[in-house]
Amino acid sequence: MISKKWLFTGVGIWLLSSLGSSIMHTNPPITHKVNWDSPKTQELFSRVCMDCHSHETKWPWYSYVAPMSFVINHHVNEGREHFNVSASILDEAHEAAEEYEEGKMPENGYLTFHPEAELNPEERAALIAGLNATFASEHDHDHNHGHNHGHDH
């Protein structure tokens, strides 16, 4: 049987790690606004992509509880690093529609906790078309002007 000492020690470590991981939650200032092709694309992007690809992340209660907090923080930081509509990190924006269409995004498990991100076929088609329309000009602009925002992709 587990002694009370070990039980309290385990709970204490878990609480401290949960508190520590919640400090990593950030929503930095928004320094870039996307010129969406339509309000519908913006609304669909908000439902499906915004939590990991912007500075407007909604941090649910379970994102404050270890070990989930570490996984979620990692996913958000990775997403923001590669494609962030709030910070003009758009190097991979031209791939957004393709990644979504191929089922690579959203990440595994996201839909389990965010059923609102599950789109019907018409919404899926609208999001794919809207992402292509919105970010095609960003891709052309970056390639024509040699901007890579510090990435070697």
Q: What is the pLDDT of residues 12-62, one digit of tens each?
A: 554 554 444 556 788 999 999 999 999 999 999 999 999 999 999 999 998
> Would 62 be classed as within a structural domain?
yes
Name residues whose C-beta falls within 8 Å of residue 83's C-beta, 6 or more positions apart in sequence: 53, 89, 90, 91, 92, 93, 95, 96
> Would 78 be classed as within a structural domain?
yes
Segments forming the whole domain that contains residue 78: 4-145
pLDDT in tens, 78-116: 999 999 999 999 989 989 999 999 999 998 889 999 999
> Would 153 be classed as within a structural domain?
no
Strand partners, 84: 89
3-state secondary structure of 84: strand
**Number of domains the chain is built from:** 1
pLDDT in tens, 115-131: 999 999 999 999 999 99
> Would 151 be classed as within a structural domain?
no
